[in-house]
Amino acid sequence: MNRRIFPITMPKWGIEMQQGTVTGWHVAVGASTQKGDHLLDVETEKIVNSVEAPVGGTLRMILADSGATENVGALIGVIADASVPEAELQDFVRRFTPADASFEPAARQSSASSHEAPAAYSAAEAADGDTRVSPIARRIAERLGVDITRIKGTGRGGRISKDDVEAYAAAHSGAAHSDAAATLPAAPPVRHKLSSMRAAIGKRLLESSQGIPHYRVAVDVECGAVLARAQSSGTSDGKVSFNDLVVRATALALRQHPALNSHLVGDEILTFSTADICIAVATENGLLAPIVRSADSKTPAQIGSEIKALAERARAGSLTREEISDGTFTISNLGMFGIDRFDAIINPPQVGILAVAAVAARVVVKHGAPAVEKMATLTLSADHRVIDGAVAARFLDSLRSLLQSPESL
- At 292 the pLDDT is 97
- At 14 the pLDDT is 65
Whether 262 and 395 map to the same domain: the answer is: yes
Q: Find all residues with CB under 8 Å of 82, minimum gap 6, and list them.
A: 32, 58, 60
**pLDDT digit string (tens) for 220-235?**
999 999 999 998 876 5
Which of 173, 208, 227 terminates a domain? The answer is 173
Other C-beta atoms closer than 10 Å to the C-beta of 394 total 16
When the pLDDT of each residue in the chain is averaged and rounded to a whole number, the result is 83
Which of 173, 189, 213 terminates a domain? The answer is 173
DSSP 93: H
Check pLDDT > 50 for residue 100. Answer: no
CATH code (residue 89): 2.40.50.100
Whether 77 and 111 map to the same domain: the answer is: yes
Q: Find all residues with CB under 8 Å of 264, minimum gap 6, and list them.
A: 270, 348, 349, 351, 383, 385, 386
Lowest mean pLDDT segment, chosen from 107-111, 179-183, 291-295: 107-111
Quick one: pLDDT band at residue 174, thresholds 50, 70, 90?
Answer: low
- At 236 the pLDDT is 53
Lowest mean pLDDT segment, chosen from 72-76, 103-107, 129-133: 103-107
Q: What is the DSSP string of 171-216?
A: HHHTTTTTTTGGGS-SSPPP--PPPHHHHHHHHHHHHHHHHS-EEE
Whether 124 and 268 map to the same domain: the answer is: no
Q: Find all residues with CB under 8 Å of 126, minimum gap 6, and list them.
A: 133, 135, 138
Catalytic residue among 26, 38, 172, 384: 384
182 belongs to a structural domain:
no
For the purposes of burial, counting CB atoms within 10 Å of the CB of 175, is it exposed (0-12), middle (13-18) or buried (19 or more)? Answer: exposed
Whether 165 and 204 map to the same domain: the answer is: no
Q: What torsion, rounded to 10 degrees, do the Cα atoms 102, 108, 111, 116 define? A: 110
Whether 205 and 151 map to the same domain: the answer is: no
Question: Do 41 and 48 contact (CB within 8 A), yes or no?
Answer: yes
Taking residues 139-167, report their average pLDDT. Answer: 78
32 belongs to a structural domain:
yes
179 belongs to a structural domain:
no
CA 170 to mean position of chain CA atoms: 34
- At 99 the pLDDT is 58
Q: Which helix (H) or strand (E) holds 389?
A: helix 389-404
Check pLDDT > 90 for residue 102. Answer: no
Quick one: pLDDT band at residue 19, thresholds 50, 70, 90?
Answer: confident
120 belongs to a structural domain:
yes
Highest mean pLDDT among 131-135, 279-283, 295-299: 295-299
Quick one: pLDDT band at residue 187, thresholds 50, 70, 90?
Answer: low
User: Of 330, 350, 328, 321, whose CA–CA distance to 15 is shortest?
Assistant: 321
Whether 158 and 260 map to the same domain: the answer is: no
Whether 241 and 121 map to the same domain: the answer is: no
Whether 155 and 69 map to the same domain: the answer is: yes
Structural domain boundaries, residue 376: 197-408
- At 126 the pLDDT is 34
Taking residues 271-280, report their average pLDDT. Answer: 96
257 belongs to a structural domain:
yes
Report the C-alpha gap between 387 and 148 in whole angstroms.
Answer: 55
Whether 154 and 208 map to the same domain: the answer is: no
Three-state DSSP class for 92?
helix
Check pLDDT > 50 for residue 8. Answer: yes
Whether 167 and 206 map to the same domain: the answer is: no
pTM above 0.95, yes or no: no
Whether 112 and 237 map to the same domain: the answer is: no
- At 112 the pLDDT is 39
184 belongs to a structural domain:
no
Domain count, the chain: 2
Taking residues 187-194, report their average pLDDT. Answer: 70
CATH code (residue 321): 3.30.559.10
Q: Is 263 a catalytic residue?
A: no
Type of residue found at 239: K
Check pLDDT > 70 for residue 129. Answer: no
Higher per-residue pLDDT: 151 or 1: 151
Report the C-alpha gap between 44 and 203 in whole angstroms.
Answer: 13
Check pLDDT > 70 for residue 147. Answer: yes
- At 108 the pLDDT is 36
Report the C-alpha gap between 252 and 16 in whole angstroms.
Answer: 30
Check pLDDT > 90 for residue 17. Answer: no
330 belongs to a structural domain:
yes
User: Of 80, 146, 66, 145, whose CA–CA distance to 113 is shortest?
Assistant: 80
User: Of 161, 104, 112, 173, whose CA–CA distance to 134 is shortest?
Assistant: 161
